[in-house]
Amino acid sequence: MDERIIKTEYSEVMQKSYIDYAMSVIIARALPDVRDGLKPVQRRTLYDMYELGIRYDRPYRKSARIVGDTMGKYHPHGDSSIYEALVVMTQEFKKGLPLIDGHGNFGNIEGDGAAAMRYTEARLQRITQEAFLADLDKNVVDFIPNFDETEQEPSVLPVRIPNLLINGAEGIAVGMATSIPPHNLEEVINAVRAYIQNPDIDTAGLMKYIKGPDFPTGGIIINKSELREIYETGMGKVKVRGKVGTEKGKGGRINLVITEIPYPMIGSGISKFLSDVAALAETKKTADIVDISNQSSKEGIRIVIELRKDADVENFKNMLYKKTRLEDTFGVNMLAISQGRPETMGLKEIIKASVDFQFALMERKYTTLLAREQEKKEIQEGLIKACNVIDLIIEILRGSRDRTMAKNCLVEGKTEGIRFKSKESQVMAQMLRFTERQANAILEMRLYKLIGLELDALVKEHEETLANIYRYEDILERRDSMATVILQELEALKKAYGRKRRTVVEDGVEAVFAEKKPEEMDVVFLLDRFGYARTIDMAAYERSREAADGENCFVFSCKNNGRICLFTDTGTLHTIKVMDVPYGKFRDKGVPLDNISNYDSATEQIVYAADQRELHLRRVVFVTKLAMVKIVDGGEFDVAKRMVAATKLQEGDAVIGVTTLREQRDIVLQTAGGYFLKFSLEEIPEKKKNALGVRGMKLDEGDLVEAVYYTDAGTEYKIPYKSKSLDLQKMKIGKRDTRGTKVRA
C-alpha cells in the first residue's frame, strides 16, 4: 500500500478542526431548528417514542428504555443529555406546552432534580402526536441516515405550529447562545393567521396578536414599550416581576404574599430569594420583616413575608424588586438554525419561516395523498369495468393455464393458449386493455365483491375518490385553498389546546424605595491571619483590646458607612464597604474576604489594610521584593471601584510592604542574604500609583528584600535576628540605592 505524507501548517489543521467541531455543536446539538423549534436531541427523543409506540393513549414506559433506545439508534452523545432533554419536555413550569407526559418525580419549580431514569416513566402528549408527529407516513419531510447508517431519522419533524415561539428555547453553542422566551399558543396562532392573510404585515401589526412572552410561571412584564424593538431585532432584555399581593396577618400585621415568580427565578433562584430576603433583615437593611415562610405546594407558588404593623408596604415591595430577584431580566437572543445556518431572527422572520414550512409540508402531504387517490381511482375504475364484463373475465380465468396468461389477456388482449367457449368471447377478450395495476386488482378480487351491495359501495367509494382528487388538486394548484386548510388545522389546535395568557404585559413604574441610611458610628475592623473579617463596636474592642491586637493581622477604627482598602502583593487594591463586613460580637468568626470582594486568597496575599478616609489624608510608602520603593499620595486611592491597580511591578516582582506615613523618619530594608540598609524616607520620591518607583537598595544576584521596618526619633526599636537582637535606632544611616551592611549571626 502506497503511503503519502501530506505536509501542512499545524495552525491550519487546528483551525479547521476547531471550526468543524464548532459547527457540529452549533448545528447538531445546541441550537433549535426554526422550522420545528427543536434541538436534535429533542427531535430524536420524540421520534424514538413515536417509533416505540409510546402514544398518549397507551401505557407509560420506563424513561431508561426511551433513553437507551434513543442513544443506541439516533443520539450517541450520552444518556444524561437525552434524559435531561426528556425531563425538560415534561416540566410545565419550563415549557408553555409540555411535549411529554411524565409519570413519577420529574423535578419541581424549586430546583429539585428529577428521579433517576430507572424510576420514572413517560409517554407522548396528545398534542405532540397530533401537531408534531402526524403525517410522517406521507413523505412530508426528508429522512436521513443515523450516525451509523443503520436507521433512518427525520431531518425535521412536521410540526404544525410555530413551536420555537410557543415553547421557546435555550442553548449554548460555541461562540453563540440562544435564549427565546415562550409565548401563548392562541396568540401565536392568531398572529400566524394574520400573516397568512397579509404577508406584508409588520412587527407592530403582529404584536396586536402577540402581546409579549407568556411565561409558564406567570409574572408581570414591565417594559412593554421595549418589546417592539426586541421583536424586530431578535435581541434585548425582558424585565419580569413576580406577582405580589397583601393579606391581613395575625395581630394586625400585614403579610406580603408572592404567588407568581419571574421565569428566570425557577429552580435554585427561589431558595436564593428566600436567603436574600433573610439577609436584608440580618444586615439591618430593613427592620420591617417579622417572618418569612415558603408555603408553596403542587397547587402553586406561595411565599409569605410577615411585616410589622407600621411597615411601609409599598416601599418594602420596591426594596424586594431592587435588592432581590423578585424583579429579574430575561435576556432574549432569538438565534436558530435557518436553512442550515445559525441566524438571529425577529418575530416576523420566525413566523414567516414557520408558515413557509407549513406550506412546504402541505404541498408534500397532498402530493402524496393525490398520488394515492389517483392509484385508488385507477383500481376502482378497473374493478367497475371488470364487473360489467365479469362473465368474460371468469371465462378468461377458467381458460388460462396460469396467472401470467390471464394477466397478459387482461392487459394486452393476448388470447393465445386460452380456451374460450365461443369465437365471440375470444374477440371481446382481444379488445380488453386494463392497466397493470387494474389487472392485478382484478386477479386478486374476491367473489363477494360481485354482490350487489358491494358493487354499490365500490361505485360510492369511486365517487369519493374523485371528490378527493378534485379537492387535492385544488389545494395544490391554489395557494388560497392550501392556506385555508392550514388555518383550519391551526384553529382546531387552538380550540383544543389554547389557554389564557398567564403573564401580564404592561409598562410598569420603576421601583423606587427610600433606603434608610444607617446611623453613622465608629466601629473597629478586624482581619485575622486566615482572611476572615468582621467589625465590632468600640466598647467591645476596648474590653478585649489585648486579645484583638494579638489575634488579628490588621486592627483599626473606621466609620460603618466607609470603605476599607486592601493592598496585596500583586500590586492590586481591593476596596470593600464596611457595611458588607458582618457586624457582631468579638468572638464571631466573620466572613472570608473572598466572599465580599474580588480578592482571591489562592493567588494573592494582603500586605496592608487601612480605612479609606484615613488613607486619603496620608502618604503611602510601597516597597517590593526587588527593592523598588516609592511614595504615593493617599488621595489616589480614593476610588469607588472594587479593584484597581495600586502600583506598577516589574516581571517577577511583588509588593512586600505598604504603610502610611505618620511619625516615621527612616526606613530599613532587610534582605534574605542578611543585608540591612537604613536611609531617610526623604530620599524616596513621590510618584503616581501607576509608576514603577526607584531602586531603594542594590541587591546581590538572587537576593531579595524580605522585610521592611520604620523608625522615628527617640524611640527604641529592636528586632530579633538569628541569635542576636538588633537595635535599628543605633544602625548607621546610609544612602538609598547602596548595598547596605552585612549583618552576621
Strand residues in 40-191 grouped as ranges (E):
61-62, 100-103, 121-124, 143-145, 152-154, 169-172, 177-180
pTM greater than 0.85: no
Q: Which residues are CB-contacts of 410 (< 8 A; sequence separation ≥ 6)? A: 393, 396, 432, 434, 438, 439, 442, 443
- CA-wise closest residue to 126 among 38, 27, 57, 219: 57
Tell me, what's the pLDDT at 23? 58
Residues 601-626, mean pLDDT to the nearest whole number: 93
**Does residue 715 carry a pLDDT above 90?**
no
Active-site residue among 119, 195, 497, 541?
119
| Residue 366 known to be catalytic | no
Q: Rg (Cα) of the chain, in Å, rounded?
A: 41
- Count of other CB atoms within 10 angstroms of residue 547: 12
Determine the number of helices (DSSP H) and then strands (DSSP E) in the chain. 22, 35
Tell me, what's the pLDDT at 260? 93
- Count of other CB atoms within 10 angstroms of residue 347: 26
Residues 55-61, mean pLDDT to the nearest whole number: 94
Q: Give the span between the Cα atoms of 404 and 387, in whole angstroms.
A: 21
Eight-state DSSP code of residue 5: P
Fold held by 522-742: Neuraminidase (2.120.10)
Pairing of strands 606-611, 552-559: unpaired
205-216 pLDDT tens trace: 999 999 999 999
Better-predicted residue by pLDDT, 283 or 504 = 504
Q: Are 223 and 229 in contact (CB under 8 A)?
A: no
Q: Give the span between the Cα atoms of 533 and 594, in whole angstroms.
A: 10
Task: Report residue 187's pLDDT band, with 50, 70 and 90 as the boundaries.
Answer: very high
Mean pLDDT is lowest, of 255-269, 343-357, 425-439, 469-483, for 425-439
**Does residue 721 carry a pLDDT above 60?**
yes
CATH class, range 38-158: alpha beta
Tell me, what's the pLDDT at 125? 96
**Does residue 5 carry a pLDDT above 80?**
no
Pairing of strands 552-559, 643-645: unpaired
661-676 pLDDT tens trace: 988 899 999 999 999 9
Q: Give the span between the Cα atoms of 210 and 31, in whole angstroms.
A: 24
Please report the DSSP string for 659-716 in residue order. EE-SS--EEEEEETTSEEEEEEGGGSPB--TTS--EE-B---TT--EEEEEEE-TT--
**Does residue 433 carry a pLDDT above 80?**
yes
Query: Residue 135 has which C-alpha cell?
Result: 403525517
- CA-wise closest residue to 239 among 218, 257, 224: 224
Residues 602-619, mean pLDDT to the nearest whole number: 92
Q: Give the span between the Cα atoms of 613 and 236, in whole angstroms.
A: 41
Q: What residue ranges do the domains of the chain occupy?
A: 38-158, 243-325, 354-495, 522-742
**Does residue 25 carry a pLDDT above 60?**
no
Query: Residue 302 has which C-alpha cell?
Result: 406561595
CB neighbour class for 694 (10 Å; exposed up to 12, middle 13-18, buried from 19): middle
The whole-chain average pLDDT of the chain stands at 89
**Does residue 22 carry a pLDDT above 60?**
no
Tell me, what's the pLDDT at 447? 65
Fold held by 243-325: Gyrase A; domain 2 (3.30.1360)
Q: Give the span between the Cα atoms of 552 and 547, in whole angstroms.
A: 8
**Does residue 27 carry a pLDDT above 60?**
no
Tell me, what's the pLDDT at 300? 86
259-309 pLDDT tens trace: 999 999 988 778 889 988 888 887 777 888 888 999 988 888 999 999 988
Query: Residue 160 has which C-alpha cell?
Result: 404544525
Task: Report residue 21's pLDDT band, with 50, 70 and 90 as the boundaries.
Answer: low
Of 7-16, 283-292, 701-710, highest mean pLDDT: 701-710
**Does residue 240 carry a pLDDT above 70?**
yes
Residues 581-595, mean pLDDT to the nearest whole number: 87
Tell me, what's the pLDDT at 383? 82
Q: Give the span between the Cα atoms of 346 and 235, in whole angstroms.
A: 8
| Angle, vertex CA 695, rays to CA 691 and CA 698, nearest 5 | 160
Place of cell 395568557: 501
Q: Does domain 354-495 have CATH number 1.10.268.10?
A: yes
Q: Are 606 and 567 in contact (CB under 8 A)?
A: yes
The separation between CA 143 and the C-alpha centre of its own chain, rounded to angstroms, equals 30
- Count of other CB atoms within 10 angstroms of residue 450: 13
Residues 125-129, mean pLDDT to the nearest whole number: 95
C-alpha distances in Å from residue 275, one per residue of 292, 293, 325? 10, 11, 11
**Does residue 722 carry a pLDDT above 90?**
no
Packing angle of the helix pair 423-430, 390-399 (nearest 10 deg)? 100
Q: Give the span between the Cα atoms of 465 and 467, in whole angstroms.
A: 5
Tell me, what's the pLDDT at 514? 63
Phi and psi at residue 244, to the nearest 5° = -120, 130
* Cβ-defined contacts of 649-653 (< 8 Å, 24+): 649/570, 649/571, 649/624, 649/692, 650/624, 650/626, 650/692, 652/626, 653/624, 653/625, 653/626, 653/628
Query: Residue 80 has which C-alpha cell?
Result: 444524561
